[in-house]
Amino acid sequence: MNLYTYCKSCKKDIKIKSQADTRHDLQMEKGREFKVNCLSCGSIEKKHVNDVKAEVNNKIIYFGIGLGVVATITLLYFYGAIGTLSGLIPILFWRQQMSSIKSFNSFMVKR
């Protein structure tokens, strides 16, 4: 998943570079409030970890789709119809993303 917040000046999304899985992890990493730099208008703002939202990382979904297609073709060749089960791989990637996004967005730290 990707983490982002928004810029008060130009209302554009600002991406946050972090591997944190929850707001708590993000707070441990960056502090309860941290500075972000908007790449669109250049303004620097202080953001609270609760202002950060998680969204789907499309790269991971595409990776899952790619992996699913390759695995399906390979398994179809060797094992026949059962290989189509690997078409479920992108769905598993999607579900995993959705559950981590949900857990990130539903947990707020105390202000």
Point out which residues bind Zn ion (CB under 5 A): 7, 9-10, 38, 40-41
Our CA angle for 72, 63, 28, nearest 5°, is: 140
Longest dimension (CA), the chain: 57
| Cβ closest to Zn ion, residue 38 vs residue 54 | 38
Our CB check for Zn ion shows the closer of 41 and 98 to be: 41
Shortest distance in whole angstroms from residue 85 CB to Zn ion: 46
* Residue closer to Zn ion, measured from CB, 10 or 70: 10
Nearest of 70, 50, 62 to residue 94 by alpha carbon? 62
Task: Report the nearest approach of Zn ion to the CB of residue 71 (Å).
Answer: 41
CA distance 104 to 92: 18
* Residue 45 C-beta: closest distance to Zn ion, Å: 8
Nearer to Zn ion, 45 or 55 (CB): 45
CB of 36 to Zn ion, least distance (A): 10
Backbone angles phi, psi at 5, to 5 degrees: -135, 180
| Alpha-carbon Rg for the chain in angstroms | 18
